[in-house]
Amino acid sequence: MMGTDNLIFLEVLEWFDETGQELLHRLPQSGSGEIKYGAQLTVRESQAAVMYYKGRARDAFGPGRHTLKTGNLPLINKILSMPWAGTSPLRAEVYFVNLKVFPNLRWGTRDPVAFRDSELGFVRLRAHGVFNIRIVQPVLFINTLAGTMGKYSTEQIEDYLRRVIVSRLNDYLGETLDTLFDLPAQFDELATGLKKRLVKDFIRFGLALDEIYISSITPPEEVQAAIDDRSRLGAIKDMDQFVRMKAGMAMEKAALANNEAGAGLGLGMGMMMPGMFANTANTANTPNISGVAGASGTPSDQASNATTTECSDCANTIAADARFCPFCGHQQVVLLQCVHCGKNLTPGAKFCSRCGQPADKKPAACICSNCQNENLPEAKFCDNCGQQLA
């Protein structure tokens, strides 16, 4: 920001994210400012800007150069501000919002989550992966999450989003997965279903979950050993032939041993051979080879349309620069949403026009009746004990 500490010159406002991790940045960087009438605002293609004037969000700006209009006039402003010790009461600030995709944010279970398996009983799972986010409603993001902070980075929200993802994953596994033995082939399907569950949790802050990937879901070591044993048994198509093969290998090793124990073992195995291989000639060897084709989930590239967008309230296609939807009439710069039904609320609304709930109502946490653990709102299974919540 240039020209902030002067009486005559107008400001030129622009911002570059050098770290690649900042979701939001405010100018001036410390507090508010006396942005003058005619100040120039430059917004890049990957950004949006929101000007707050007299404490309220006045306008949102897309890419390009914009002229800001305030009541602060050069020189005259300082004269009119003499009753306030030369400080203009017409405070203004501009928030730059980074609209790019923030990739490779990591999520995972800090503590194992509880899961009731139909075959193994009660087990605890650890899960890890990555997810990508982006801001889709700049004003809603500022009003609900960033507030008056001068900057807001992914580090400040990653821990909360990680907790939300783990909680919803616990619910989704409890409702859809029957046993861990079916898990390895369902990572892509689980990620798709989990993404749909998380849409509401992200959009209430003006965020969109661009993509989520599950890299691993691992049970304890003893459970992994049980799964490995079952896999070995599944690979053996004919147990009788497997036992004969093992017996033959043991005889071969015994024959190579040049001691009395090896000779005795070889003699005993030789006497057992006629009975073991009596039916070998009559047994048809029909191996059953089944190939499982793993479906690789390739994330589809979503083409961005620079001229049209979708109304966040009625889902109709409208012009990208439209301030109001021509179909439902709702303002496209979302200031506040109802936490109960997701309805876009007008500034100063006390109640939701759709469901009638108070506009300032906060979602209540779910308390587990079994272990008294506090879970996220609308959670269906406890993160601590796996008990189904009422």
pLDDT at res. 47: 95
Please count the structural domains in the chain.
1
Percent of the chain predicted with pLDDT > 90 = 32
In a domain, 56, yes or no: yes
In a domain, 299, yes or no: no
pLDDT (average), residues 168-177: 86
At 30-54, the pLDDT tens digits run 888 889 999 999 999 999 999 999 9
Start-to-end CA span in the chain (Å): 53
pLDDT of 289 over the 60 cut: no
pLDDT at res. 322: 73
- Range of 28's domain? 12-98
pLDDT, the chain, mean: 79
**ω into 377 cis (within 30 of 0):** no
Q: State the pLDDT confidence band at 109, using cuts at 50, 70 and 90.
A: confident
Residue 24 or 2, more confident: 24
In a domain, 44, yes or no: yes
Q: Are residues 193 and 165 in contact, defined by beta-carbon separation less than 8 angstroms?
A: no
Sign of the Cα pseudo-torsion (317, 320, 326, 330, in order): positive
In a domain, 339, yes or no: no
In a domain, 48, yes or no: yes
Q: State the pLDDT confidence band at 191, using cuts at 50, 70 and 90.
A: very high
pLDDT at res. 43: 96
Site of tokens 């033995």: 181
Q: Are residues 47 and 99 in contact, defined by beta-carbon separation less than 8 angstroms?
A: yes
pLDDT (average), residues 205-233: 82
Tell me if the pTM is above 0.75. no
In a domain, 88, yes or no: yes
Give the Å distances, CA to CA, from 259 to 246, 254, 256, 268: 21, 9, 9, 15
Residue 296 or 142, more confident: 142
Q: State the pLDDT confidence band at 199, using cuts at 50, 70 and 90.
A: very high
Q: What is the CA radius of gyration of the chain?
A: 32
In a domain, 184, yes or no: no
pLDDT of 204 over the 50 cut: yes
Long-range own/partner contacts, residues 242-247 (CB < 8 A, 24 or more apart):
243/276, 244/276, 244/277, 244/280, 247/272, 247/276
Percent of the chain predicted with pLDDT > 70 = 76
In a domain, 148, yes or no: no
At 303-352, the pLDDT tens digits run 444 578 777 777 788 887 776 777 776 666 676 777 777 777 766 677 78
